[in-house]
Amino acid sequence: MIEQTMPAIRALSLRRTVVRMSSALLAFERLALMGLMYLLTGLILVNVVTRYARFPIYWIDESAVYCVVWLTFIGASAMTRLRLDFAVTMLTERLSPQRQKIAKVISTGMVVVFGVALTITCVLWMDPIGLALAGFDGRKLAAETFNFLYTEHTQTLNWPTWVLYLTLPIFAVSMTVHGLANLLEDLELVPRTPPKGFQLSELDGVN
């Protein structure tokens, strides 16, 4: 009897761990979104003032663009956990409640599959193993694989582009974690956890 309950306890612990990881990640994303919004607002204000004073800072435009990119991907990840992603309900709203539940599980599962596929794609694209084998020399890796990711720099900031492109694998992993948490809730394997720090009305949830 005890041997049979141990796997069930471990599975429940694993499911709760996934939900806790998602909650912690969502709390961090909330702080990151707030910080990026303040940063973007500050960059725009400084850009307006300096242009009005005829002393423009040339790298602010590029900084604002990358700030918006990071803001978009982090926000999209948070929206996945908050179930604020877009959904077409013209078909599912005509189904029975049981079939609506099945459709929701399928759609949430597709989010997880997409997140895993995007994670694998990012690993193949950034090729951390190849970079390590090349002695963390971006030029050597480019010469061997024609992957110039680690040799390129931004136009005005002169930052390595791979640092800014990290938003893609971060988004892929975070969306996968949020998707798994949503899937566990949809399958009723864990109780639904209300998000902390986000004030959502009953009409905000779309999915």
CA distance 98 to 1: 33
Distances (CA, A) of 75 to 78, 81, 198: 5, 10, 13
Distances (CA, A) of 85 to 74, 75, 175, 206: 13, 11, 12, 7
pLDDT recorded at residue 194: 80
Is the pTM higher than 0.85? Answer: yes
pLDDT recorded at residue 164: 94
Stretches in the chain below the pLDDT threshold 50: 1-2, 202-206
pLDDT recorded at residue 40: 96
pLDDT recorded at residue 1: 47
pLDDT recorded at residue 106: 92
pLDDT recorded at residue 203: 45
Do residues 206 and 108 make contact, with C-beta atoms less than 8 angstroms apart? no
pLDDT recorded at residue 205: 47
